[in-house]
A and B are shown apart, each in its own frame.
Chain A
Amino acid sequence: MSDSTYHRVSLAVSATALVLLLYAFYQVFFIVPTEAKMGIVQRIFYIHMPSAVVSFNLFFVVCIASIGYLKTRRLSWDRAAVSAAEVGTIFCAAVLITGPLWGKAVWGIWWTFDPRLTTTLVLFLIFVGYLMLRLYQPEPHRRARLSAVVGIIGFVNVPIVYLANRFRGQHPAPVLGGGEGSGLAPEMVVALLWSLAALHALGLLLFMQRYRLERMRTEVNELYRALRA
């Protein structure tokens, strides 16, 4: 896509993201009723759960982009993969930060090995590993190829991690956000949907910016090579 089209799209995405974020914020803090059992802290749910969804979707993008690269060998797929991975890791970190804060306030414990939080932690570690692997591979195609393999395996692993932790029955753990689904008031559902939309828009914005960065990097490397030729 040409530079000017890109600028217009990126501006549109930024504006949409901003509007959605403001509206979601308004929903979460002014419209939604306070949850009966947990009090105001429960509102963390509206950034905690959507962040998890966004990061999972982004890692799905990593998997698809990885397959795309391996099949076509076009570096644009690789650029998409690394962008999705980096942004996904950021959202993952957000889940891991908001989760314990919520947990500490409600149950008095920072960490619980509830399947969702644990899976998020493992996902985080997998993709930090992915990013580190890329750091140590200077050659673009080799880097793309190896991280594609890691990206595919990493993503496929995630549901299995979740299942493995689900089957552990010994330590009854408070399920973060799991119980909410059963008792969500309609206003909460609405706020949740707006929050999901807002965070996905934010994720898209960050993805596009990261992709642009990666494209510039490729250009710089090509120019260096042309200079040396």
Chain B
Amino acid sequence: MSAWRVATALLRKDLLAEWRTKDVSTAILLFGFTIAVSFSFAFEPTPDEARVIAGGLLWLGFLFSAVLGLNRGFARETANNCLEALRLAPADPGSLYLGKLLSNVLLLLVAELVLLPVFGLFFNLALWSRPGWLLLILLLGTWGVAALGTLFSAVSANTRMQELMLPLLLLPLTVPVLVAAVDLTTLLLFNRPMSEGSMQFRLLAGFDIIFTLLCWLLFGYVLEE
């Protein structure tokens, strides 16, 4: 099977499994919503203050929800010994990685798009003034988190304390994504020209490319028995 066929096959299988169980989406949505509410209670910002911290809150919310979602996703797989099946599949592990990465990116993006209006509501944010840029930031940031998250959920699967391992490993490594995405989102919210964020865009793109490549190369090692 060609690499692309394998990847899309895995993507379809994951999306179907998700459609049936809704494990990951419910986790991300509920948790994200809880975070949004908690933040708004904790900070009670005025609309002006909100603009300053919203970038950070949004991406922290996304990041924490993503960790939860990734954990649930892989938990579902371990429960059904899918990891074993993946290992035995006569497919190049790189394509398996790509398939999983795509399904994770899609699931995370959908959840984030649902959570955005929620955050917008609680913090009175003018999020949709430049939807194209917003979506680009969302895509680049989410891809970065998913690229590492997909690999690391496989690393922490079947590890004792796997719920702790994933965030412990993932959160420090996604700091560049967090920093860049927050900076860009803040620029967006303050109606600054997006050209001011050109370095951050380049950083995010670079991060995504480098780590997708690296994780694609290393996934086989993680999957080994």
Interface residues of A (CB under 8 A from B): 70, 122, 125-126, 128-129, 132-133, 136-137, 145-146, 148-150, 152-154, 156-157, 160-161, 163-165, 167-168
Mind listing 19 A-B residue pairs with CB under 8 Å?
A125-B172, A126-B169, A129-B168, A129-B169, A136-B160, A136-B165, A146-B155, A149-B151, A149-B218, A149-B221, A152-B214, A153-B151, A153-B218, A156-B211, A160-B203, A165-B179, A167-B183, A167-B203, A168-B179
Report how far A202 CA is from B155 CA in the complex, Å.
Answer: 33
| Cβ 8 A contact of B210, one of A148, A156, A161 | A156
Question: Which residues 143-186 in B have Cβ within 8 Å of A in the complex?
Answer: 148, 151-152, 155-156, 159-161, 165, 168-169, 171-173, 175-176, 179-180, 183
Report how far A220 CA is from B155 CA in the complex, Å.
Answer: 27
Q: In the complex, are the beta carbons of B148 and A132 less than 8 A apart?
A: no
| Cβ 8 A contact of B203, one of A145, A148, A163 | A163
- Which residue of chain B is the closest to A70 with respect to CB atoms? B221
Q: In the complex, are the beta carbons of B218 and A152 less than 8 A apart?
A: yes
| Cβ 8 A contact of A133, one of B169, B211, B218 | B169
Residues of A within 8 A of B47 (CB): none
Residues of B within 8 A of A163 (CB): 176, 203
Instruction: Given A136-B160, A149-B221, A168-B183, check contact A160 B214 (CB 8 Å).
Output: no
Q: In the complex, are the beta carbons of B165 and A161 less than 8 A apart?
A: no
Question: Which residues 177-215 in B have Cβ within 8 Å of A in the complex?
Answer: 179-180, 183, 199-200, 203, 206-207, 210-211, 214-215
Q: In the complex, are the beta carbons of A145 and B221 less than 8 A apart?
A: yes
Residues of A within 8 A of B159 (CB): 133, 136-137
What's the minimum C-beta distance from B106 to chain A, rounded to whole angstroms? 23
Report how far A33 CA is from B175 CA in the complex, Å.
Answer: 39
Instruction: Given A133-B155, A150-B169, check contact A161 B222 (CB 8 Å).
Output: no
- Which residue of chain B is the closest to A127 with respect to CB atoms? B172
Instruction: Given A133-B165, A136-B160, check contact A164 B175 (CB 8 Å).
Output: yes
Residues of A within 8 A of B211 (CB): 153, 156
| Cβ 8 A contact of A161, one of B152, B175, B183, B200 | B175
What's the minimum C-beta distance from A122 to chain B, rounded to whole angstroms? 5
Residues of B within 8 A of A133 (CB): 155-156, 159, 165, 169
Residues of A within 8 A of B160 (CB): 136
Instruction: Given A136-B160, A163-B203, check contact A145 B176 (CB 8 Å).
Output: no
A-B pairs, 6 with minimum CB distance: A125-B172, A164-B176, A164-B179, A167-B199, A129-B169, A136-B160
Residues of A within 8 A of B175 (CB): 122, 161, 164
Residues of B within 8 A of A149 (CB): 151, 155, 218, 221-222
Q: Does B224 contact A (CB under 8 A)?
A: yes
Report how far A153 CA is from B173 CA in the complex, Å.
Answer: 8
What's the minimum C-beta distance from A78 to chain B, rounded to whole angstroms? 13
What's the minimum C-beta distance from B163 to chain A, rounded to whole angstroms? 12
Report how far A137 CA is from B171 CA in the complex, Å.
Answer: 20
Report how far A160 CA is from B199 CA in the complex, Å.
Answer: 12
What's the minimum C-beta distance from B175 to chain A, rounded to whole angstroms? 5
Residues of A within 8 A of B179 (CB): 164-165, 168
Q: In the complex, are the beta carbons of A146 and B222 less than 8 A apart?
A: yes
Q: In the complex, are the beta carbons of B222 and A157 less than 8 A apart?
A: no
| Cβ 8 A contact of B172, one of A122, A146, A152, A167 | A122
Highest count of chain B CB atoms <10 Å: which of A149, A154, A163, A168: A149
Q: In the complex, are the beta carbons of A167 and B180 less than 8 A apart?
A: yes
| Cβ 8 A contact of B207, one of A128, A148, A160 | A160
Residues of A within 8 A of B156 (CB): 133
Given A125-B172, A164-B176, 4 other A-B contacts at CB below 8 A? Answer: A129-B172, A149-B155, A153-B215, A156-B211
